Amino acid sequence: MKIPLFDLDGTLIKSDHDFKLNRFSFAIKKVFKIDVDLGLLVTHGMIDSQILIELLALYDIPKEKSEEKLQEMFFVMEEFLNQNEDKMFYKPLDGAFDLLKKLNELNIPSSVLTGNVECFGWNKLKKTNLKQFIVTGVFGDMALIRSDLVPILLEKLQLECDEEIQKSNLVIVGDTPLDIKCAKDAGIYSVGVATGKYSKKELENCGADLVVESLNEPKLLEYLLN
């Protein structure tokens, strides 16, 4: 049995991408007084802390300075969420609800490993009615590098499940090459799902252990059960 660590945007959930990006410009404007051009950075698969640092680097803000202000920017992003929650659009991707429900029935703990800051991640899961199936999660405000989220999640899983869980049982399920890279860097399995920006072929070329077109494919569940 493998324990899935699900990405959110493009994997379990469809979000309004443009509105999602607005939280970065809002936070940077409030903290650094800079109007950033979000089109300068391809953010697919990046975690929020990394996005903020790399955006600011385009405006000659040193990494050390942006890291010092990360917590303040995360707080402002939560403020943005509170102000705009009713305008945000999320829906579960096809097959997401049924897959998580089936895993729950089989007593396989599902968790999330997402680039979203924690308040946004749980908000998306709540609004899409997927939160009920998620045991725990790690988020883009908990590390600077995506793969560093894996040991944090392993520890949280062990606490939540009250049992010893081996890292070798973990598998990241995501829709971008950076999800696959995260799994490789952390030394765990990966499943690519071609439900986002990247094709099945592109994900296969990244070296994913399994690639499926959608969460509905039976071989995804079979892979997790083996």
What is the pLDDT, as a whole number, of residue 17? 60
Query: Do 140 and 190 fall into the same domain?
Result: yes
Residue 21 has pLDDT above 80, yes or no: no
Residue 19 has pLDDT above 90, yes or no: no
**pLDDT tens column, 102-150:** 999 999 999 999 999 999 999 999 999 999 999 999 999 999 999 999 9
Query: Do 56 and 135 fall into the same domain?
Result: no
Query: Do 74 and 117 fall into the same domain?
Result: no
Query: Do 7 and 45 fall into the same domain?
Result: no
Residue 8 phi/psi, 5° resolution?
-100, -75
What is the pLDDT, as a whole number, of residue 85? 87
Query: Do 82 and 99 fall into the same domain?
Result: no
Q: Name the average pLDDT for the chain.
A: 95
What is the pLDDT, as a whole number, of residue 87? 85
Q: Which of 114, 140, 176, 153 is nearest to 48 (CA)?
A: 140
Cβ contacts of residue 127 below 8 Å, gap of 6+?
88, 90
Query: Do 29 and 50 fall into the same domain?
Result: yes
d(CA 193, CA 23): 26
Query: Do 50 and 80 fall into the same domain?
Result: yes
Query: Do 168 and 190 fall into the same domain?
Result: yes
Query: Do 9 and 103 fall into the same domain?
Result: yes
Please identify which residue in the block is written with the tokens 């939280």. 23
- State the sign of the Cα–Cα–Cα–Cα dihedral 17, 66, 27, 6: positive
**pLDDT tens column, 89-114:** 899 999 999 999 999 999 999 999 99
Question: Taking the CA atoms of the chain, what radius of gyration do you get in angstroms?
Answer: 17
Mean pLDDT, rounded, for 155-165: 91
Residue 42 has pLDDT above 90, yes or no: no
Q: For residue 106, with 0-12 CB atoms within 10 Å meaning exposed, 13-18 middle and 19 or more buried, which class applies? A: exposed
What is the pLDDT, as a whole number, of residue 58? 96
**Residue at a domain's end among 67, 87, 107:** 87
pTM for this predicted structure: 0.95
**Residue at a domain's end among 29, 52, 87:** 87
Q: What DSSP designation does 95 have?
A: T
What is the pLDDT, as a whole number, of residue 57? 97
**By residue range, what is the domain housing residue 202?**
3-15+90-225
What is the pLDDT, as a whole number, of residue 151? 97
Residue 44 has pLDDT above 90, yes or no: no
The SS3 of residue 126 is: helix
Residue 163 has pLDDT above 90, yes or no: no
CATH classification of the domain holding 201? 3.40.50.1000
Strands (E), 7-163: 13-15, 90-92, 110-113, 134-138
Q: Judge contact between 196 and 176, C-beta under 8 A.
A: yes
**pLDDT tens column, 168-196:** 999 999 999 999 999 999 999 999 999 99
**Residue at a domain's end among 87, 112, 135:** 87
Per the structure, the count of domains in the chain is 2
Query: Do 208 and 105 fall into the same domain?
Result: yes
Mean pLDDT, rounded, for 153-174: 94
Query: Do 216 and 117 fall into the same domain?
Result: yes
Mean pLDDT, rounded, for 203-213: 97
Query: Do 10 and 107 fall into the same domain?
Result: yes
